[in-house]
């Protein structure tokens, strides 16, 4: 069974709580990340986290100048952490129950990575699914035409009939699985 250690992001970007939000934005843009872990103020202390959501909701939406706001003023403090040995279902429940998108991963008191809901989805091992080559196109057409279209003679358009047939076929295939 896969664990947090198997999928976590090992490169973690951090910032001090005394840094300005403007610096956090620059670091996030430069490293193309959506959050930064806020360094502990004292050894053994709690980590914090600042996310793009914190910046947008607490600074931008409030009309504040990011050059005048410290990270510590808007960060999520006493950030929950997780262990690299946890299974994916366990950490997924932890994220869900706490309403979080990501957690620092700590082992022996040291941060070794970050795990996010994106990591769980994008890095999980899934069995390859073989789809017909025209499957995506068929679904796109069927969805585009799922409402009935009538021509002037009161008959359904040929495209609508095709879409209905494809949706019926897809539903039948799904029922067989």
Instruction: Report pLDDT digits (tens) over 157-176.
Output: 566 666 666 667 766 776 67
Mean pLDDT of the chain: 83
Q: Is the pTM of this model over 0.75?
A: no
Please provide residue 55's backbone torsions phi and psi, each rounded to the nearest 5 degrees: -65, -50
- Mean local confidence (pLDDT), 38-51: 86
Which whole-number Å values give the CA distances from 45 to 39, 49, 58, 71, 73, in the listed order? 9, 13, 24, 17, 17
CATH superfamily of 4-123: CBS-domain (3.10.580.10)
């Amino acid at each position: 069974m896969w664990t947090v250690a198997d999928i976590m992001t090992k490169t973690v970007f951090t910032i001090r709580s005394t840094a300005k939000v403007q610096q956090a934005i620059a670091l996030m843009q430069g490293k193309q990340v959506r959050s930064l872990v806020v360094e502990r103020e004292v050894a053994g202390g709690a980590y914090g986290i600042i996310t793009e959501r914190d910046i947008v909701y607490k600074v931008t939406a409030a009309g504040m100048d990011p050059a005048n706001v410290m990270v510590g003023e808007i960060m999520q403090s006493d950030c929950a952490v997780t262990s690299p040995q946890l299974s994916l279902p366990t950490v997924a429940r932890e994220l869900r129950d706490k309403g979080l998108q990501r957690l620092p991963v700590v082992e022996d008191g040291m941060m070794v990575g970050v795990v996010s809901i994106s990591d769980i989805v994008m890095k999980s091992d899934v069995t390859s699914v073989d789809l017909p080559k025209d499957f995506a196109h068929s679904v796109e057409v069927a969805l585009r035409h799922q409402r009935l279209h009538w021509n002037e003679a009161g008959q359904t358009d040929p495209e609508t009939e095709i879409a209905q047939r494809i949706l019926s076929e897809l539903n039948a295939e799904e029922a067989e699985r």
